[in-house]
Amino acid sequence: MDHPLNTSTATSALVRAATGVRTDSPPIWFMRQAGRSLPEYREIRRGTTMLEACLTPALAAEITLQPVRRHNVDAAIFFSDIVVPLKLAGVAVEIVADVGPVLAQPIRTAAAVAKLQELTADSLAPISIAVGAVVSQLGDKPLIGFAGAPFTLASYMIEGKPSRDYLHTKALMYSDPETWDALLTWAADISGQFLRAQVQAGASVVQLFDSWAGALSLPDYVERVMKYSARVFGHLADLGIPKIHFGVNSGELLGAMRDVGADVIGVDHRLPLDVAAQRLGASVPLQGNIEPGYLFAPWETLRSHVDDVIVRGRSAPSHILNLGHGVPPTTDPDVLTRIVAYVHGEE
């Protein structure tokens, strides 16, 4: 790897673990740590839509920092949404409360794909500004850049709204390989540019979320999806930063998700980390995978589960502790703070 742009975080536990260096205790952060579980987030979001919050640099920066201050996690994750790059590229999309991203028009035809616009440096300005503001306040604590992977982005575009079965997506994937290729290539490029802008503004690590890849069989992932995720990481090849790759329900896909060029594989709560490590030949740093259901159990029960995750994580060369999924909105934030203190040896 080349030298990373943000050198002040190079000795942080998170960056070390992400580059395969075993740490005494695992660095910890939580997927969706910035968000609805925090009263200060609900307060600051009042009267603002989700996409407005993502695209107003001062707001996005403040929301990104809130959980770092409150929980003392070992990394910030840039507050954004998977569809933000779509919005920046001019796609008509809104995030509807209690539903999720909804497109004015689903994108399902060659003609609709041909009309998609490229991202420009100008359109990425709100992202660069927000990241810069965050990084200036984080000092030697790293910021993790955030983007959705091409399959997940394309699913939202093709379905036009959240889906449980991705039937329109799969219908296009199986029926019209040319349009599929054009759409996923476009999605890979905006996703790569979106991550690249975050790294150039100071993010030290990135995480690519392929939230819905777990809906696919391994043969379908390998034949029809993998190369586009590799293309995302290709946009970062010269930047020398570690790349985390995560998908819900992706236990069957772990090897392929590594092979697209990931340095760290995120594992969801379904697959014990020692099993995941074994599946990957014990050669890949892992991230995960506290079962979010335990956040609602008594502290002793939760603590014993966290211990178990840490012990299993030792089967990997290095381990970043996280949940196996995003923080549920109904989580008591004090529980998250307590986990961090416990893992940091302060309890």
For residues 22 and 335, what is the distance between their CA atoms, to the nearest angstrom? Answer: 26
| Per-residue interface string for the shown chain with a second copy, residues 246-285, x marking contact by CB under 8 A | ---x-xx----------------xxxx--x----------
Contact 25/312 with Cβ under 8 angstroms?
Answer: no
Helices marked H in 20-164: 39-44, 50-55, 57-71, 84-88, 110-114, 125-138, 150-159
Which of 16, 70, 81, 263 is the catalytic position? 81
Stretch that binds a second copy, among 111-119, 147-155, 218-226, 339-347 (CB under 8 A): 218-226
Stretch that binds a second copy, among 91-99, 109-117, 138-146, 163-171 (CB under 8 A): 163-171
Residue of 139, 174, 283, 307 that binds a second copy (CB under 8 A):
174
How many contiguous H segments (helices) and E segments (strands) does the chain have? 16, 9
Q: Would you list the DSSP string of 144-170?
A: EEEEE-HHHHHHHHHHSS--SS-HHHH
Half-sphere exposure of 205 (CA within 13 A, CB side): 32
Active site residue 164: no
Residue with Cβ nearer a second copy (43 or 300): 300
Q: Applying CB under 8 A, does 216 fall inside the site for a second copy? A: yes
Active site residue 45: yes
Which of 41, 74, 108, 156 is the catalytic position? 156
Q: What is the largest CA-CA distance in the chain?
A: 59
Active site residue 156: yes
Catalytic residues: 32, 36, 45, 81, 156
- Interface ranges with a second copy (CB under 8 A): 165-171, 173-175, 214-220, 249, 251-252, 269-272, 275, 291-294, 296-298, 301, 305, 325, 328, 330
